[in-house]
Amino acid sequence: MRVTTAFNKMLAVVGASVAGVVFTDQGVVVTLRRRRQKRRCPCGWQTWAVYDRSVRRWRHLDLGSTRCFVEAEICRIDCRRCGRVRTEEVPWARPRARHTRDFQDVVTWLAQHTDKTTITTLLRVCWEAVAKIVIDVVAEAIDGTRLDELYRIGVDEVSDRKGHRFLTVVADHDRNGAVVWADEGRDAATLERFYDALGDQRLANLEVVTLDMDGAYKAATDNRAAHVTQAVDPFHLAKLANEAVDKVRRGAWNTERRTTPAPKRPRGRPRKNAPALPRDSTRWIKHTRWALLQDPDALKPSQLEVLDELRRRRSVLYRSWQLKEGIRDLYRLRKPSDAECHLDWWLAWACRCRIPAFVTLSKTVRANRDRILAAVELGLSNSRLEGLNSKIRLINHRGYGHHSAAALIAMIYLCCGGVTIELPTGRT
Ligand SMILES: [Zn+2]
């Protein structure tokens, strides 16, 4: 078998055949010969006329340990539709790319499944190239009709790894919380850009928007989509309640630290039969954190003991825990019609509890009362948006979170927007 035939079968490049193979210092360079056909502009317009020609090299998937490049002639054409000279589109690579389609697809598929260091080591590319490839491939693979037929959406803000950059993310509740739109910023203007992108027709179809308790998204929705029912995501309310409990716990820890000094440990290693040291109560309060924040159904026996001790001591931490679970009970009611009654009972309790963190929370809840009740009535669960938040945390954690906003948005579409990437191995 001739070398060119072997490479033809191995690379299976669409629209071209292998004309020659050269081994160089950088790796194998495969020269392609194009089949005679019209030159095609990225806009779709085709012509026989060529403006000028040049030779370009694209990085292809490695052959074993050797790097592989494909090289071919590429033309510029004077596109009548675009009204300017543009570089033609070739079947094996995306416009402007310096890697072949197969290479880009493998990078993007890996980006969906693994961390960035694995990709850069395995495929020998730099992370800037990975970010750029993901942006290009996602732009092509994303479903163009994703903004059609939106009825119930959720809006939330997410941040990058270091919390320097904020994005607004819109998810579709009816498609398992798939991300349909994301953009940089977390103010009213950002969400207004989404409503503008929807247009009047699709905006009129929208029925419910779930959002947080801050004013920005509410203002944008009031402004642009006044007909839509607004509801507060249960996830946000639970988060605020958890933060209030944590604030009380930190306060209790600080007081304890100031009033009772830590017991002194004797120097050196304790003797075998030495009596047990007295408990460090400051440390104990610090470690009540997980017992206080854990979901009651998932409490471990040791955490139940902690709660029981707090109850016996009549600690302010126990009352905070009761208040937190009281507001979370709102979403565990058998009959949603009882929600109004339950919420009013909780508000009456919280505003008189004399725990500052919960008095503040009760004020926030009172201001958002109707929107909180709307969520219970609509039966919108918090699991989807909460899942979205943890997925985005995972993307950040895998090393994709600290580059450009465009790269992070592409990663969010890729991992949370239901984009499917076909591997070159899947074609045969
Ligand atoms: Zn064109």
Tell me, what's the pLDDT at 164?
78
How confident is residue 3, by pLDDT bands cut at 50, 70 and 90?
A: confident
pLDDT of residue 281: 81
Homologous superfamily of the 152-233+381-419 domain (CATH): Ribonuclease H-like superfamily/Ribonuclease H (3.30.420.10)
Q: Give me the pLDDT at residue 384, please.
A: 67
Question: What percentage of the chain exceeds 90 in pLDDT?
Answer: 45
Residue 260 reports pLDDT greater than 90: no
pLDDT at 401: 66
Tell me, in angstroms, the distance from the centre of ligand 1 to residue 78's CA: 8
- Tens digit of pLDDT for each residue in 113-130? 998 889 999 999 998 899
CA 364–ligand 1 middle distance (angstroms):
55
Sign of CA dihedral 409, 131, 39, 61: negative
- Work out the number of other CB atoms within 10 angstroms of the CB of residue 10: 12
Distance from the CA of 44 to the center of ligand 1, in angstroms?
6
Q: Measured in angstroms, how far is the CA atom of residue 11 from the centroid of ligand 1?
A: 29
Tell me the Ramachandran region of residue 239: left when phi exceeds 0, alpha when psi lies from -120 to 50, beta otherwise. alpha
pLDDT of residue 427: 67
pLDDT band at 388 (very low <50, low <70, confident <90, very high): confident
Ligand 1 center to residue 166 CA distance, Å? 36
**Nearest of 59, 56, 74, 72 to residue 28 by alpha carbon:** 59
Contact 372, 365 (CB under 8 A): yes
Mean confidence (pLDDT) of the chain: 88
Q: Encoding tokens for residue 72?
A: 């071919």
Ligand 1 geometric centre to CA of 38 (Å):
13
What integer is the mean pLDDT of 139-152? 88
Question: 108: closest CA among 90, 98, 123?
Answer: 123
* CA torsion, ordered 107, 112, 115, 117, to nearest 10 deg: 10
Q: Under a CB-based contact definition with an 8 Å cutoff, are residues 55 and 75 in contact?
A: no
How far, in Å, from the CA of 40 to the mean position of ligand 1? Answer: 8
User: Ligand 1 centre and the CA of 45: distance in Å?
Assistant: 6
Report d(CA 144, CA 408) in Å as an integer. 19
Average pLDDT in the 143-155 region?
A: 88
Give Cα 308 distance to the centre of its chain.
Answer: 38
- How much distance in Å is there from the Cα of 46 to the middle of ligand 1? 8
pLDDT above 90 for 142: no
Give residue 55's pLDDT band: very low, low, confident or very high (50, 70, 90). very high
For ligand 1, an ion, list residues with CB under 5 A: 41, 43, 45, 79, 81-82
Higher pLDDT, 380 or 310: 310
Among 128, 30, 34, 45, smallest CA distance to 86 is for 45
pLDDT score of 29 more than 60: yes
How far is the centre of ligand 1, averaged over its atoms, from the C-alpha of 356 (Å)?
A: 64
Length of the chain: 428
Cα 389 to ligand 1 centre (Å): 40
Q: Cβ(110)–Cβ(99) under 8 Å? A: no
162-209: per-residue pLDDT in tens?
Answer: 777 888 999 988 888 889 999 998 889 999 999 999 888 999 999 999
Cα 260 to averaged position of ligand 1 atoms, centre (Å):
77
pLDDT tens for residues 266-319? 788 877 777 776 677 888 888 888 888 888 888 899 999 988 998 998 889 999
The more confident residue out of 398 and 229 is: 229
Concatenated DSSP letters of 35-74: -S--EE-TTS-EES--SEEEEEEEEEEEETTEEEEEEEEE
The β-bridge relationship of strands 28-34 and 39-40 is: unpaired
Element counts in the chain: helices (H) and strands (E)? 16, 12
The pLDDT value recorded for residue 220 is 92
Start-to-end C-alpha separation, the chain: 22
Adjacent-strand bridge partners of 39: 47
Which pLDDT belongs to residue 266? 74
For the residues of 144-165, what is the DSSP string, one character each? TTTTSS--EEEEEEEE-TTS--
Q: Report the distance separating Cα 226 and Cα 364, nearest Å.
A: 22
Paired with 70 in beta bridges are: 30, 58
Ligand 1 centroid – CA 133 distance (Å): 22
